[in-house]
Structure 1
Amino acid sequence: MSKLSLFKNIAPYILLFIVIYISDDTFLFGTAEGGLFSKVKYMLYYMLPIPLIINVRFVSKSDAILIAFLIILIAITSISNFDFRGGYVYQVLVLILSFLIAKKISFQVFAKLFCQFMYIFGIISLIVFAVALLFPSILTFFPVVTNISGLESHNLFLAIVNIDEGHGVRNTGVFREPGVYMIYLNIALMISLFYSKSINKKYVIIFILCIISTLSTAGVVVTGGVLLSALFGGKNVFSKNEKRLIYLIPILLVAFIVYNEGISDLVFGKLNKDSGKYVSTLSRIASLHIPLVNFMDYPIVGSGLSQFNFDFERQAMLLYGIPLKADGTATNTITNKFATYGFTFGAIFMYGLFRFTKKVLSRRLIITFFLFVLMLAMFSNEDMRYSLFFNILFFYGFLTANTNPNAYTNIINKNG
């Protein structure tokens, strides 16, 4: 095998590893204090487009217009608001890199490798989660890292364990938040159930166990919706016994949560105004409400990044009497896009996600719409504007075909 052929075979694995691990969505490269890992990420992101541009030989006119139009909209927002911070440059960089990766790797390959990576990361995270529950003293042998909010965690490099007991032991995997991890897992679950020709039930089981162990209320609800969609989606995915088990899972899960005081307080405390965890619910409401208020003030070109941060805290004081900051509280990807860059930019991204759902997951209108709502619910739970993964899914929705003359498609046949 020539060196060129070898590179073409391993390149998709490298790119998928970067998308998942060396990402704004992970703890080490996204929110870890100190900046070493983030510097590595920035350097890689700035260098990677060059070889991708050289190797991507075919870009249709419609694809070129799409990426150019998005960049122009960002530039208009920046100029009209007299706001020239580096976040705009980084957003453009993430868009370009995501577009090139989506053009270089066919979705067939992306889906296969993504599920493989999430399966491996999932097994590792479950092992670490079990160790954290049963043998927490072992974690003291691993270094402690702090995120930008001052939260300390044990760094196991392929998993992160939160030290703050007030947050409880939750499965975070390598990601910055359990809520981010559940998004990756639910997308992997959707792909496994709706896109793959044959269902790998080992993958499905691991993804579901990981989602449950994140103790993410939104994650569990979305997973329930995904499983129900698979049951009624017309695909003969599960046997009769498996269907009975799926119907039984929500009942068992609710019973477990209700009778386990610690977990019950963690999940349902968010709904109790007298609970300290109610602030989490208030933050979720604010993350939806405040950007919409901001959008109404700047509907055409958006408020821009700097004004959005200022207005978010000001509106939080006016509406809720609490000085909530955009960093850490503005967790709704969809409404944030509308607020910062205006209606056209936000609408394009919503349409792209809908096209992705329709093209990749289901062509049945009712199932497509339901899965699209679940998709919006997930990405409304965390801010992933700068996520390669989120933007790649968006571009897969718009690309005219899942393959191109120079895409990595032969890896499927070689690796089964």
Structure 2
Amino acid sequence: MLSGGQLFINRPILLSVLAILAITYAKGSLLKFKRINSLFFIVLVITIEWILRIDDHIFMPILIRYLNFFSAVIILVIYLNSPGGILLFRKDLYIILFWISLGAIINFIIANFFSSVFYTINTTDGSSINSLFYIFNYHESVANQYNLVRPDFVFYEPGVLQIYINIFLYLSLFIYNNKKNSLIALISVFFTLSTTGIIITLIILIFFYFKFIIKNNSKFKIFNIIILGLLIIPFFYLLSQNIGDKLNGEAIGSSIAREYDFYTGLEIIKQYPILGIGFDHARYISLSGVNYYSDTLLTGDSIEDRPSSNGLINLFYSIGIFLGSLYLFLLYRQKLLPDKILIFIIMLLSLFGESLVFTPFFLLFVCSSSVIFRLNNQ
């Protein structure tokens, strides 16, 4: 919920609760754990970098980022000190993502066929969403040329929801070889109608095709290839429709906004390449007003107080090119899931479309690259 959850949730309070629960559950294991020295080095580097940025000593933004980082470290330590180790992490993640994927399907069905049961609530950013029990949510009645409602579920938009569904698809195909759950994941991500989500799904299926089906010498090889091909066809069709709609159709505003976020953030990176501008959102808003991308169709009202939707740009304008590159390197070296190249592609594409780069879930993968542990920690 701290990594893309609904905006009506108070982040500082939820983050504090997570930190307290994690520390309580760890029961001193953090002090006993001797394989996180490199994590302290990362904290030290970030602290020094923050001190050197003499014009940005705003307490609350840096505190929230450190709490995010600390929560990720504590959760990682808990799993590494558990009897199941990393295998337990994958199992727990798999169970959680199953319910998220199933919830997305339920959300889609209720929102499109029983929309009258939803009620409107206001979020912390001043917008409103349609909600049922604060669990099933959607923030727009008609989102696309299909005249269908896209589910948000417990996240603030379908683009975030697809990240977790696609990771569930990866786990179902590559780790647990579960055909039923793979189908649930495919249906779920299809219902999000997310362009980025569809691209990631296609990449996962193509990786799966080359890693397993091509090397499969069984008599069902041809049958498996045909089935996979039939599954890919509707995703390619949906992708082509979405791209066309974003270039020339009703969703063109989305592509214009993302283009604005990319080039505006790029201008800020050019001016602050070494240290970045820090984590203060108000400072980004102030600088974006000076360095904004002028060749845009967005109006002044759309630009005013607009946060960046590009997580990778956010990464580099916040902490600079050096630390940003280190972050991506550590993300690639994550040790929580195998198939590093595929996981890195999934994460990279996801962060390109969503500003979640400093949230606990993604930091958990970054931190995992800095510890040494056996597969099952036994």
Aligned residue for 1:292? Answer: 266
Q: Normalized against structure 1, the TM-score is what?
A: 0.76
Alpha-carbon separation, structure 2, partners of 1:93 and 1:40 = 11
Q: Distance in 1 between matches of 2:201 and 2:237?
A: 17
1:248 is aligned, of 217, 230, 252, to: 230
Read off the aligned partner of 2:226 and give its amino acid letter. R
1:116 aligns with 2:88: no
- In structure 2, the CA distance between the partners of 1:296 and 1:38, relative to structure 1 (3 Å rule), is closer
1:281 aligned to 251, 255, 261, which one? 255
Q: Aligned AA for 1:248?
A: L
TM-score, length of structure 2 as denominator length: 0.83
Q: Which residue of 2 aligns with 1:3?
A: none
Instruction: Classify 1:393/1:337 alpha carbon distance in 2 versus 1 (closer, same or farther; 3 Å).
Output: same
8 Å Cα contact 1:211/1:220 also seen in 2: yes
Moved more, 84-93 or 162-171: 162-171
Q: Give me the whole-angstrom Cα distance separating, in 2, the residues matched to 1:371 and 1:49.
A: 26
Which position in structure 2 is the counterpart of 1:15?
none
Structure ranking higher in helix proportion? 1
Correspondence list, 1:64-103, <5 A: 64-74=37-47, 76-77=49-50, 79-85=52-58, 86-103=60-77
Task: Give 1:325 shift.
Answer: 4.8
The answer to whether structure 1 residue 186 and structure 2 residue 163 are counterparts is no
Q: CA deviation at 1:389?
A: 1.0
What is the CA–CA distance in structure 2 between the aligned matches of 1:179 and 1:94, rounded to whole Å?
21
Per the TM alignment, residue 287 of structure 1 is displaced from its structure 2 partner at its CA by 2.9
- Residues 306-365 of structure 1, C-alpha deviation per residue, up to 9 Å, x if partnerless? 4333222332253436445596541222221111111222112101121127x7322xxx
Query: Does the 8 A contact of 1:304 with 1:341 survive in 2?
Result: yes
C-alpha displacement of 1:239: 5.3
Deviations along 1:7-58, one digit per CA (max 9) or x if unpaired, are: xxxxxxxxxxxxxx4x24111xxx11xx6x4464043034235323623354
C-alpha deviations, 1:355-382, integer Å up to 9, x for none? Answer: 127x7322xxxxx545533431111110
C-alpha separation in 2, matches of 1:71 and 1:385: 19
- Opposite residue 156 of structure 1, the aligned amino acid is F
1:343-358 to 2 correspondence within 5 Å? 343-356=321-334
Provide the C-alpha distance between the structure 2 equivalents of 1:376 and 1:220, rounded to a whole number of angstroms: 14
Asked if structure 2 preserves the Cα contact closer than 8 Å seen for 1:77 and 1:303, the reply is: no
Contact 1:78 1:304 in 2 (8 A): no
Question: Residue 108 of structure 1 contacts residue 402 of structure 1 at CA under 8 Å; is this kept in 2?
Answer: no
Q: How many pairs are equivalent?
A: 359
The DSSP-based 3-state class of the residue aligned with 2:138 is strand
- SS of aligned partner of 1:204: helix
Instruction: Report the identity percentage.
Output: 19
Distance in 2, Cα, partners of 1:384 & 1:152: 20
Of 97, 107, 111, 1:128 maps to 107
CA deviation vs aligned residue, 1:264-319 (integer Å, no higher than 9, x gap): 5x6632111xx452121022223333323222211111122343332223322534
User: Which piece of structure 1 moves more, 50-59 or 234-243?
Assistant: 234-243
2:157 corresponds in structure 1 to: 177
Q: Are the structure 2 counterparts of residues 40 and 305 from structure 1 closer, same or farther at C-alpha, using a change threshold of 3 Å?
A: closer
Does the 8 Å CA contact 2:162/2:192 hold for their aligned counterparts? Answer: yes
Work out whether residues 103 and 404 of structure 1, in 8 Å CA contact, stay in contact via their aligned partners in 2.
no
Q: Is the 8 A contact 1:132 1:161 kept in 2?
A: yes
- Which of 356, 362, 367 aligns to 1:390? It is 362
1:246 Cα deviation from its structure 2 partner: 1.9
Unaligned runs of 5+ in 2: 80-84
Name 1:401's counterpart in structure 2.
373
Structure-2 residue corresponding to 1:335: 313
RMSD, matched Cα: 2.9
In structure 2, do the counterparts of structure 1 residues 42 and 117 end up closer, same or farther at CA, with 3 Å as the change threshold? Answer: closer
